[in-house]
Structure 1
């Protein structure tokens, strides 16, 4: 769709592509407010989860397993919170939602990336809205590399 931001990602937007397949693309999120936060985007335009085909649902389940395994093994996450919130699309006068899911990994112990230590201060509670990203660009590169290495080692 011509007026959909997810359907028209630039090369810069695709810079942190973790992997993709026939139906979904997984990206490391721009905001690393939770270490390893990523976004799964349906590769075709659909506005609600109820529009997913059986094949897309089946594939989504496999990708969720793959991402959760990656975050737990490569980064030490204890659990992953998944959300499909399309609210922001409806702030526009002409909403055009595109199905995508956010994964926020959660950590009971501090996570060391590069020379920095990150703590999930809300562990075992709901994730914080509008939390600022605290991850340096160098650490984001390390997170991306660790996740890619794990994901491609299991293919």
Structure 2
């Protein structure tokens, strides 16, 4: 769709592509407010989860399993919170939602990347809205490389 942000991602938008298959693309999110936060985007333009085909549902389950395994193995995530929030699309006069899911990994212990340690201060609580990202660009790149490698091998 010509007026859909997710249908028209630029090469810059896709620079943190972790995994892609016939139905879905997984990206390391620009905002790392939760270390390892990812976004899964359906390649076909649909506005609700109820419009997914059986094959898209089946594939989504498999990708969720892969992403969760990766986040647990690479970063030590205890759990992953998944959300499909389409609210922002309805702030426009002509809403045009596109199904995508956010994965927010959660950690009971500090995540150590290089020389830095990151603490999930809201562990075991709902995630915070508009939480500032506190990860360095170098650590984000490190996470991306490690996750992409894990997902390509598993």
Give the alignment's TM-score, normalised by structure 2: 0.99
| CA drift at 1:115 | 1.2
The Cα of 1:152 is off from its aligned counterpart by 1.0
Structure-1 separation of matches of 2:36 and 2:153: 17
Q: Determine the structure 2 residue equivalent to 1:109.
A: 109
Per-residue CA deviation, residues 89-112 of structure 1 (Å, 9 max, x unaligned), is 000011000000000000000001
Provide the aligned C-alpha RMSD in A: 0.4
Residue in 2 aligned with 1:91? 91
Asked whether 1:62 is paired with 2:69, we answer: no
- Cross-structure match for 1:125: 125
**Distance across 1 between alignment mates of 2:44 and 2:93:** 22
Runs (4+) of structure 1 exceeding 2 A deviation are none
Unaligned runs of 5+ in 2: none
SS in 1 for 2:80: strand
> What runs of 5+ residues in structure 1 fail to find an aligned partner?
none
Deviation digits for residues 7-31 of structure 1 (CA, Å, limit 9, x no counterpart):
0000000000001000000000000
- TM-score of the pair, normalised by structure 1: 0.99
Count of aligned residue pairs for this structure pair:
154
CA offset at residue 149 of structure 1? 1.2
Output the CA distance in 1 between the equivalents of 2:15 and 2:144.
Answer: 10
Q: Per-residue displacement from partner, 1:43-93 (whole Å, max 9, x unpaired)?
A: 010000000000000000000000000000111000000000000000001
Aligned to 1:53: 53
Match of 1:74 in 2: 74
SS where residue 73 of structure 1 aligns? helix
